[in-house]
Amino acid sequence: MSFRLTILGSSSALPTSERFPTAHLLNANERFFLIDCGEGTQMQLRKFRIRLGKIHQIFISHLHGDHTYGLYGLISSFSLLGRGAPLHIYGPPRLEEMILDHLKFYQNDLGYDLVFHRIQNRRSALLYEDKNIEVHSLPMIHRVPATGFLFREKEKERTILKGKIDTYNIPVRNIPAIKRGEDFELPDGNIIPNSELTLPPPRPVSYAYCSDTSPNDKLIPLIKDVDLLYHETTFLHKDAKLANVTTHSTSKQAAEFAAKACAGRLLIGHFSSRYKRISDFESEAREIFNETFAVNDGDVFEVNN
């Protein structure tokens, strides 16, 4: 399985001439997940040639405008494009009220169903799953209830070696159990260990999204060894006091968090418009965690088995 992450927006509160507010699009083997939906998200989706009709799940971290203002226009555009499939929206409890109140004034009949899934941010919980992937919530520390998200591929079964089937005359009825890791018993009672009969599956791929939040080491056991970690870095560390007051993070703090979590790569974004050189964020973080990348709108990052 492979994950392909497209950065649609990388700014914090204010859009700039180069950066839209926060939004990510995760393609997990052609299953598309939109994560946050800041102003201009649908424009970015079109710019980067992402088919809107492939999006069936939207995950909203919290109810600040730079993470939600794009939802209203996107929902309307889905209707104008003739969408028929339900749209599942995961977010804080009041998100449903906000969207439905908006629709009362502008659009009574969408032509498709909105299905709301309320997220409680006090603890991690399974939000979504299909045969290939699970999505878990991650409690954030912010001024309002906020949630991050962990996207993790489900572990596959082991691969049975076809030659061993013939060698040991393994009946078809035993193959599913062997793929699940069981040994095989011969008619004479001898046991053939599973390690001789199978190959291990590829390691599941994973992506964690942490925005907006103060540093939260309680998340480390939940995302340990994650392949790709996005962590907000609204401020440089010289402004750590301001980050603390506003319940955001600095690039140094994000790097320390990534190192503790043994992440494969760290993506940093949600930059405050007060800073002119985004390269300073990357330089600061790389002093602690070398595999750090300051994201730009349109950047694409891939994770493969």
pLDDT tens for residues 50-80? Answer: 999 999 999 999 999 999 999 999 999 999 9
What does the DSSP 8-state code read for residue 271?
B
Q: Which of helix, strand or coil describes residue 120?
A: coil
> What pLDDT score does 1 carry?
77
Angle at 27 between CA 143 and CA 302, to 5 degrees: 95
Q: Residue 269, exposed/middle/buried by CB under 10 A (0-12, 13-18, 19+)?
A: buried
Domain ranges in the chain? 2-156+202-304, 159-198
> What pLDDT score does 157 carry?
87
> What pLDDT score does 247 carry?
97
Distance (Å, whole) CA 56 – CA 18: 28
What does the DSSP 8-state code read for residue 187?
T
- Give first-to-last CA distance, the chain, whole Å: 6
Query: Which residue shows structure tokens 């690039």?
Result: 251
Q: Are strands 198-199 and 206-210 parallel, antiparallel or unpaired?
A: unpaired
> What pLDDT score does 108 carry?
76
Q: Which of 36, 66, 212, 227 is catalytic?
A: 66
**Average pLDDT of the segment spanning 112-124:** 94
**Average pLDDT of the segment spanning 239-267:** 98
Q: Is 166 a catalytic residue?
A: no
Distance (Å, whole) CA 97 – CA 93: 8
Question: Smallest Cα–Cα separation from 86: which of 103, 61, 69, 111?
Answer: 111
Peptide bond into 280 cis (omega under 30): no
Distance (Å, whole) CA 301 – CA 292: 12
Q: Residue 98, exposed/middle/buried by CB under 10 A (0-12, 13-18, 19+)?
A: middle
Q: Is the pLDDT of residue 107 over 80?
A: no
Distance (Å, whole) CA 125 – CA 132: 18
Distance (Å, whole) CA 204 – CA 28: 12
> What pLDDT score does 17 carry?
87
Question: Smallest Cα–Cα separation from 59: which of 83, 82, 28?
Answer: 28
Mean pLDDT of the chain: 95
**Average pLDDT of the segment spanning 183-194:** 92
Question: Smallest Cα–Cα separation from 215: which of 141, 291, 284?
Answer: 141
Tokens coding 161: 């070696």
CATH superfamily of 2-156+202-304: Ribonuclease Z/Hydroxyacylglutathione hydrolase-like (3.60.15.10)
What does the DSSP 8-state code read for residue 141?
-
Q: Is the pLDDT of residue 228 over 90?
A: yes
**The residue type at 186:** L
> What pLDDT score does 78 carry?
96
Predicted confidence (pLDDT) per residue in 79-88, tens digit: 999 999 999 9
- The answer to whether 90 and 60 have CB atoms below 8 angstroms apart is yes
Distance (Å, whole) CA 256 – CA 52: 36
